[in-house]
């Protein structure tokens, strides 16, 4: 074959491959064959969604039962508070009930038995029933949702609102007296109308549409007894500054936040408003880059006191920080409101939303939570999804169990470190020179440069002590 011909063949093969991938990705899920006619456009579902899965119980660290907690013992007290009150765990509806395993190269890998392949209202209701059975069996009393995860978009805003109302009415009934949303939010990033952003779109009609969607999402969160409301700026950012008025977009975002505060007060919603920072993805540069950027935005626009932050661990690492850094930054600014519990992959550069299973990281997370005095009215939302290759229904349980156990283990370890006191002592010793008279004057803002210059000359070259990093790491590790 000539060079020319083989080149053409290669192009053809690449094209065919792209077409095939496109077809696979677009193929609608089909009704599974093992459902004995239970598939169909009906909201009714006879029997259990998770037959064979018992109510998950605490069995202790020696248990080999994958469907049991080894470290999370809801009623056990740690540092004077029940574990369940430290954790306030929540399930993310979008990952657990809308996640299909689809990625940019491949089709869905998961077809849960209750799915009928449609995005109908009846299907939405059936999924909602599955959600509550899942929560019940896992012993979790909170859940989080986007408006469009739980109810299908309609042809008009009125129709979308009506769909939402119908599903929310069922959710309210299924919640009973114990279960509540940890937070609700509006999905302002999937629909093409939001391609330039929602509150930061260059198109005023999109800004208005987003406002209407948030208004409704806040109403239903309030109706369901939600404790918080989240703003994740899905497409609030830019691709290039060449076509972007940065100042105008940020001003619009601030106006949007102000209007949300006003509406929250108007409807008597007492939940906390939370901004969820993320540096990029889907836009190249998101406005709520990290905790410090979001704090500065709130400060600049006079919104401190009206908002707190929802820190997501995978977003922290995308911003080049550790989760611990983001939690501490939020905490020392009085802004730590909630945690989206997940983790990224150190070798992958995007938001993989994995369940956190690293005990050392969980211990650092829990150190921040304890220092914060807990997270209430926030909590831990499992903004985490099964790997594409994990396809059994029981994997949904196993993933949440290991996520809950990891954080519970982190809590136990952090409590050990706090009770032991050596780490705190190491830190306190490190700064002891500031406990002197002059140190106290500096901290009180009463030491001017002339005074300090005089002292520097009197003292001569400072003797700089060791930072004791390895000792700190040794103490930390002894608690794991
Ligand atoms: C996206 C993300 C969202 C928010 C809610 O990265 O974390 O799921 O938590 O919109
Ligand atoms: Co999140």
**292 and 309 assigned to the same domain:** yes
Outline where DSSP puts E strands in 343-418: 380-382
Give the residue from 420, 451, 466 where a domain finishes.
420
Q: Which ligand is nearest to the CA of 190?
A: 1
Domain limits at 126? Answer: 77-420
Number of domains in the chain: 2
Q: How far apart are CA 129 and CA 174, in angstroms?
A: 7
C-alpha 232 – ligand 1 centre gap (Å): 6
The SS3 of residue 180 is strand
Ligand 1 residue neighbourhood (C-beta within 6 Å):
146, 185, 230, 232, 276, 278, 312, 340, 351, 383
Q: Residue 228 forms beta bridges with which residues?
A: 183, 272
* 351 exposure class (CB count in 10 Å sphere: 0-12, 13-18, 19+): buried
C-alpha 245 – ligand 2 centre gap (Å): 27
**415 and 427 assigned to the same domain:** no
The pLDDT tens digits for 160-212 are 999 999 999 999 999 999 999 999 999 999 999 999 999 999 999 999 999 99
Q: How far apart are CA 298 and CA 318, in angstroms?
A: 21
Instruction: Answer yes or no: is 37 within a domain.
Output: no
Ligand 1 atom having least distance to the Cα of 94: 8
Instruction: Answer yes or no: is 36 within a domain.
Output: no
The SS3 of residue 207 is helix
Tens of each residue's pLDDT in the chain, 480 residues: 344 444 444 333 333 333 333 333 333 444 444 444 455 555 566 679 999 999 999 999 999 999 999 999 999 999 999 999 999 999 999 999 999 999 999 999 999 999 999 999 999 999 999 999 999 999 999 999 999 999 999 999 999 999 999 999 999 999 999 999 999 999 999 999 999 999 999 999 999 999 999 999 999 999 999 999 999 999 999 999 999 999 999 999 999 999 999 999 999 999 999 999 999 999 999 999 999 999 999 999 999 999 999 999 999 999 999 999 999 999 999 999 999 999 999 999 899 999 999 999 999 999 999 999 999 999 999 999 999 999 999 999 999 999 999 999 999 999 999 999 999 999 999 999 999 999 999 999 999 999 999 999 999 999 999 999 999 999 999 999
User: What is residue 31's DSSP assignment?
Assistant: P
Give the residue from 392, 420, 448 where a domain finishes.
420
Are the beta carbons of 40 and 376 closer than 8 angstroms?
Answer: no
Instruction: Answer yes or no: is 5 within a domain.
Output: no
**386 and 290 assigned to the same domain:** yes
Is the pTM value of this prediction over 0.85?
Answer: yes
**368 and 474 assigned to the same domain:** no
Give the residue from 370, 404, 420 where a domain finishes.
420
Rounded to 5 degrees, φ, ψ at 131 are -55, -45
Q: Residue 88 forms beta bridges with which residues?
A: none
Q: Which ligand is nearest to the CA of 350?
A: 1
Conformational region of residue 323, where left means phi above 0, alpha means psi within -120 to 50, and beta covers everything else = alpha
**473 and 368 assigned to the same domain:** no
**376 and 457 assigned to the same domain:** no
Structure tokens at 240: 């290039």
Q: Which ligand is nearest to the CA of 352?
A: 1
Rounded to 5 degrees, φ, ψ at 285 are -140, 110
Instruction: Answer yes or no: is 88 within a domain.
Output: yes
Instruction: Answer yes or no: is 41 within a domain.
Output: no
- What CATH number has the domain bearing residue 356? 3.20.20.150
**410 and 437 assigned to the same domain:** no
The pLDDT tens digits for 129-167 are 999 999 999 999 999 999 999 999 999 999 999 999 999
Pocket test for ligand 1, best of 99, 187, 190, 278 (most atoms within 8 A of CB): 278
Are the beta carbons of 56 and 69 closer than 8 angstroms?
Answer: yes
Among protein residues, the one whose CA lies closest to atom 3 of ligand 1: 232
Are the beta carbons of 131 and 96 closer than 8 angstroms?
Answer: yes
**192 and 321 assigned to the same domain:** yes
Hey, CA dihedral for 237, 238, 241, 243, is it positive or negative?
negative
Are the beta carbons of 321 and 333 closer than 8 angstroms?
Answer: no
C-alpha 232 – ligand 2 centre gap (Å): 7
Ligand 1 atom having least distance to the Cα of 351: 6
Among protein residues, the one whose CA lies closest to atom 8 of ligand 1: 383
Residue 185: count other Cβ atoms within 10 Å of its Cβ: 26
Per residue, the 3-state secondary structure of 89-118, as one string, reads: EEEEHHHHHHCCCCECCECCCCCCCCCCCC
Helix (H) or strand (E) holding 142: strand 142-146
**438 and 289 assigned to the same domain:** no
Q: How far apart are CA 231 and CA 257, in angstroms?
A: 9
Instruction: Answer yes or no: is 362 within a domain.
Output: yes
Quote the Cα angle for 469-470-476, to 5°. 90
C-alpha 144 – ligand 1 centre gap (Å): 10
| DSSP of 314-330 | HHHHHTTS-HHHHHHHH
Instruction: Answer yes or no: is 334 within a domain.
Output: yes
146 part of the active site: yes
Among protein residues, the one whose CA lies closest to atom 5 of ligand 1: 232
The catalytic position among 95, 146, 252, 325 is 146
**335 and 309 assigned to the same domain:** yes
Pocket test for ligand 1, best of 234, 279, 290 (most atoms within 8 A of CB): 234
Q: Could you tell me whether strands 68-69 and 57-58 are parallel, antiparallel, or unpaired per DSSP bridges? A: parallel
Q: Give the rounded distance of the alpha carbon of 162 from its chain centre.
A: 27
Instruction: Answer yes or no: is 197 within a domain.
Output: yes
Pocket test for ligand 1, best of 230, 236, 340, 354 (most atoms within 8 A of CB): 340
**406 and 446 assigned to the same domain:** no
Per-position b or e across 116-136, b if 16+ CB within 10 A of its CB = bebebbebbbbbbbbbbbbbb
Are the beta carbons of 307 and 257 closer than 8 angstroms?
Answer: yes
In this prediction, residue 34 carries a pLDDT of: 44
**462 and 381 assigned to the same domain:** no
């Amino acid at each position: 074959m000539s060079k020319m011909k083989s080149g053409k063949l290669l192009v053809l093969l690449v094209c065919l491959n792209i077409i095939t991938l496109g077809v696979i990705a677009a193929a609608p899920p089909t009704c599974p064959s093992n459902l004995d006619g239970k598939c169909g456009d009906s909201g009714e579902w006879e029997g259990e969604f998770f037959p064979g899965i018992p109510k998950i119980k605490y069995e202790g660290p020696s248990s080999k039962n994958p469907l049991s907690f080894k470290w999370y013992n809801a009623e056990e007290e740690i540092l004077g508070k029940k574990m369940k009150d430290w954790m306030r765990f929540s399930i993310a509806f979008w990952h657990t009930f809308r996640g299909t395993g689809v990625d940019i190269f491949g089709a869905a890998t998961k077809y849960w038995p209750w799915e009928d392949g449609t995005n109908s209202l009846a299907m939405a209701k059936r999924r909602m029933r599955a959600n509550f059975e899942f929560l019940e069996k896992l012993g979790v009393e909170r859940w989080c949702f986007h408006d469009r995860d739980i109810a299908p978009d309609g042809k008009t805003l009125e129709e979308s609102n009506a769909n939402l109302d119908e599903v929310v009415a069922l959710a309210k009934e299924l919640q009973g007296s114990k279960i509540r949303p940890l937070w609700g939010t509006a999905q302002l990033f999937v629909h093409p109308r939001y391609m330039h952003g929602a509150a930061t779109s260059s198109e005023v009609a999109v800004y208005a549409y987003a406002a209407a969607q948030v208004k409704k999402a806040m109403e239903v969160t309030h109706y369901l007894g939600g404790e918080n409301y989240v703003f994740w700026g899905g497409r609030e950012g830019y691709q290039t500054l060449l076509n972007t008025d940065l100042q105008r977009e940020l001003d619009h975002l601030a106006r949007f936040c102000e209007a949300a505060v006003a509406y929250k007060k108007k409807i008597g919603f007492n939940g906390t408003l939370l901004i969820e920072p993320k540096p990029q993805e889907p836009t190249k540069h998101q406005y709520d880059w990290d905790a410090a950027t979001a704090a500065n935005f709130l400060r600049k626009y006079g919104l401190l006191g009206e908002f707190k932050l929802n820190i997501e661990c995978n977003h922290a690492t995308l911003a080049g920080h550790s989760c611990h850094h983001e939690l501490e930054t939020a905490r020392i600014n009085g802004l730590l409101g909630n945690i989206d519990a997940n983790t990224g992959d150190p070798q992958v550069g995007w938001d993989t939303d994995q369940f956190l299973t690293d005990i050392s990281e969980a211990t650092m997370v829990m150190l921040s939570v304890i220092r914060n005095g807990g997270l209430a009215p926030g909590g831990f939302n499992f903004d985490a999804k099964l790997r594409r290759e994990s396809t059994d229904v029981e994997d949904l349980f196993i993933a949440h169990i290991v996520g809950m156990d990891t954080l519970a283990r982190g809590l136990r370890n952090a409590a050990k470190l706090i009770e032991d006191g050596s780490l705190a002592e190491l830190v306190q010793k490190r700064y002891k020179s500031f406990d002197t008279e002059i140190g106290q004057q500096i901290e009180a803002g009463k030491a001017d440069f002339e005074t300090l210059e005089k002292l520097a000359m009197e003292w001569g070259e400072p003797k700089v002590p060791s930072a004791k990093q390895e000792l700190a790491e040794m103490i930390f590790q002894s608690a794991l």
